[in-house]
Amino acid sequence: MSDYNVGEIVNEVLIGKDGELYLASGNHLPLSYVTGERTISEHAIEAFLENIKARHLFASTLGSRYIHMVAPDKHTVMRKSFPFEAYETPGDIVFARDKTFIFPKAELIALNEYKRSYQKYDSHWTIHGALRAFEIMLQRFGFSRDEINAGLNDLGPAIVTKSMHAEGDLGRKLKNPPSEKLEALKVSFPATLYSNGFAGNNGKLIGIVSQNPRARGRFLGFGNSFLLLFPNIFTYFFEQTILCRTPFLHREVASAIKPDFILTEAVERYLPRTQSDSEAPSFIDMQLSASQTLKFSAEDAAFFGPSLVPASEDEIKT
């Protein structure tokens, strides 16, 4: 990292202290909200709050427990190495208006005292950051402290260090990419994975059936890469898990699956571009419009069902 100066922006990457990397620009321009150059609009805040209110009401009609989570941006949490003075972030502003959703900023900052909550050369959280946010989610869903501790105690020994070094989504943008060894979760009990074979972003679909004896209920999650990064975590607590990469809650999916638990998630930098759920296409249309190859096996299609799988084989590219 000696090739760069602290505070320098290189190919959308901000160079922090001690070689820490932060996302500076890209589609969502996160740094401009930190410096005060931009601020989240009232229209975006109102759209966000209306989505949360409508989702709670909808989930109640299904008998599902519902929570929304905003995953903090890395610069919101990893403050010590950030080279600029802090301003209020979009998450701070929205959380001050409404605290019915999860914004685990304080908890992740506290975690840094003994475990890294975010990767050094990547914009995403570590397995430890994901687990801390997941623990808060379980508490809000009504899991008992004993249930949570039992699952976390089982899970702890399954965290392993990968043999390969990872450059990270920020590190790989630099000329001489730095890399680090990361930790992952390797389950020791049977779990069956289903997917649509999707390699892209919105439209990606993952399903898991866990045979962990502690697991219970059906979980449905709508979110982005923060939600889908460590899917094995869910197997310690939920018998069935379906994860959809999308910024919306797709009502046709939830109505068909009738989950016990629904989570919607978005990373903080997406808040200024919040769209109403009323603008959501069906999740099937989202998959088909993404110009990606969908690879549903017969087992995948049977598990996900008609609310998630195109009706005609002609619609599925194999």
- Say how many C-beta atoms besides its own lie within 10 A of residue 86's C-beta: 12
Q: Predicted confidence band at 313 (pLDDT cuts at 50, 70, 90)?
A: very low
Which range has the worst mean pLDDT, 2-6, 74-78, 214-218, 264-268? Answer: 2-6
* Residue 168: predicted pLDDT: 93
Q: Predicted confidence band at 159 (pLDDT cuts at 50, 70, 90)?
A: very high
Q: Predicted confidence band at 232 (pLDDT cuts at 50, 70, 90)?
A: very high
Q: Give residue 18's region: left, alpha or beta (phi > 0; psi -120 to 50).
A: left
Q: Has residue 258 got a pLDDT over 60?
A: yes
Q: Has residue 124 got a pLDDT over 90?
A: yes
Adjacency order of strands within the sheet including 21-23: 9-10, 13-15, 21-23
* Residue 317: predicted pLDDT: 46
Q: Has residue 114 got a pLDDT over 80?
A: yes
Q: Has residue 2 got a pLDDT over 70?
A: no
Contact predicate 120/134, CB 8 Å: no
Say what percent of the chain tops pLDDT 70.
Answer: 97
What's the Cα-to-Cα distance from 54 to each of 13, 24, 270, rounded to whole Å?
36, 33, 19
* Residue 314: predicted pLDDT: 45
* Residue 165: predicted pLDDT: 83
Gyration radius (Cα) of the chain, Å = 20
Mean pLDDT of 247-255: 97
Q: Has residue 234 got a pLDDT over 90?
A: yes
Beta bridge partners of 181: 165
Mean pLDDT of 9-25: 92
Mean pLDDT of 190-219: 93
Q: Has residue 36 got a pLDDT over 50?
A: yes
- Residue 213 burial by Cβ neighbours in a 10 Å radius (0-12, 13-18, 19+): exposed
| Domain map (residue ranges) of the chain | 9-315
* Residue 292: predicted pLDDT: 72
Mean pLDDT of 103-111: 97
* Residue 67: predicted pLDDT: 98
Q: Predicted confidence band at 278 (pLDDT cuts at 50, 70, 90)?
A: very high
DSSP the chain: -TTS-TT-EETTEEE-GGG-EEE--STT-HHHHHTTSS---HHHHHHHHHHHHHHHHHHHHHT-EEEEEEEPPHHHH--TT--S-----HHHHHHHH--SSB--HHHHHHHTTTS-SB-TTSSSB-HHHHHHHHHHHHHHHT--HHHHHHHHHHHGGGEEEEEEEE-HHHHTTSSS---EEEEEE--SS-EEEEE----SSTT-EEEEEE--TT--SEEEEEE-HHHHS-GGGGGGT-SEEEEEE-SS--HHHHHHH--SEEEEEEEGGGGGG---GGGPPPHHHHHHTTT------HHHHHHH-TTTS-SSGGGS--
* Residue 297: predicted pLDDT: 92
* Residue 318: predicted pLDDT: 43
Q: Has residue 241 got a pLDDT over 50?
A: yes
Average predicted confidence (pLDDT) for the chain:
92
Beta bridge partners of 69: 102, 265
Q: Has residue 188 got a pLDDT over 80?
A: yes
* Residue 1: predicted pLDDT: 59
Mean pLDDT of 109-127: 96
Predicted TM-score of the model (pTM): 0.94
